[in-house]
Amino acid sequence: MRKIIASLFISLDGVVEAPDQWHFPYFNDEMGAAVDATFSAADTLLLGRETYDSFAGAWPEREAAGGEDAGFAKKLGDARKIVVSRRDLSLTWRNSEQIKGGLVDAVTALKSEPGKDIAMSGSVSVVRQLLANGLLDELHLLMHPIAVRKGMRLFDEGETTMPLRLLSSTAFRTGVLHLVYALAEAPGDATYEDAKAHLPQGEQ
């Protein structure tokens, strides 16, 4: 079964909104390689409407311009792009289509299709829904050493906790941490009485 992998730029205080305003000073070859690896493992992009509009408004022109990022722009253009929106959209970027039916059923069917992985970038509301329904296989967080202090955070308030399991972690020279998580089972109940056994014990 295909995996869905979501990659997000995130600040130390959990902000994921408008990363173009704070993350570029930390973008180096290590981060570029991490971003490219996610997209290279996929042949399909799953995007929210706002992220799609942002991408479609920039990457086709960059591909046509033939600059340093034209190769990456072509990779995005060649990929199948599936857009999540409740309203009918007019999609002009090649290989783009709108998701049909409910998100959960459509994504479940998409994961069962043959092909490479399915990549996501941004699209926070869609990431939240997939996490809540157990459909996101890997969450790649590029955590920047900066507290943005305003803007949308990845995890909003809710009634239940969401345990995650760390699959890997890599520290970049800029101080960015590349953290890869998967959903996990709840860790169970514990109290301070359980925890204090792990504290350093002084002389008796």
- R_g of the chain computed on alpha carbons: 19
How many whole angstroms separate alpha carbon 29 and alpha carbon 42? Answer: 20
- Report the pLDDT value the prediction gives residue 101, as an integer from 0 to 100: 87
Give the closest residue to 93 by CA, choosing from 48, 60, 54, 45: 60
Residue 83: C-alpha distances to residues 36, 87, 112, 131, 188 (Å): 21, 11, 18, 18, 37
- Report the pLDDT value the prediction gives residue 100, as an integer from 0 to 100: 87
Residue 163: HSE in the Cβ half-sphere, 13 Å Cα cutoff: 7
- Residue 203: is its pLDDT beyond 80? no
The whole-angstrom distance between residue 171's C-alpha and the CA centroid of its chain comes to 18
The per-residue pLDDT for range 145-159, each reduced to its tens digit, is: 999 999 999 998 887
pTM for the predicted model, two decimal places? 0.92
- Report the pLDDT value the prediction gives residue 202, as an integer from 0 to 100: 65
Q: For residue 189, which amino acid is it?
A: D
How many whole angstroms separate alpha carbon 181 and alpha carbon 166? Answer: 5
- Residue 140: is its pLDDT beyond 90? yes
- Residue 204: is its pLDDT beyond 60? no
- Report the pLDDT value the prediction gives residue 157, as an integer from 0 to 100: 87
Three-state secondary structure call for residue 165: strand
Residues 6 or more apart whose Cβ sits within 8 Å of residue 146 = 11, 12, 22, 26
- What number of other Cβ atoms are within 10 A of residue 176's Cβ? 24
Could you tell me what percent of the chain has a pLDDT over 90? 84
Mean pLDDT taken over the chain: 94
How many whole angstroms separate alpha carbon 104 and alpha carbon 147? Answer: 33
- Report the pLDDT value the prediction gives residue 132, as an integer from 0 to 100: 93
Give the closest residue to 163 by CA, choosing from 141, 180, 184, 191: 184
Which domains are delineated in the chain?
Answer: 4-187 (3.40.430.10)
- Rounded to 5 degrees, φ, ψ at 183 are -65, 150
- Report the pLDDT value the prediction gives residue 186, as an integer from 0 to 100: 86
The per-residue pLDDT for range 34-75, each reduced to its tens digit, is: 999 999 999 999 999 999 999 999 999 999 999 999 999 999
Three-state secondary structure call for residue 192: helix
Averaged pLDDT, 26-36: 96
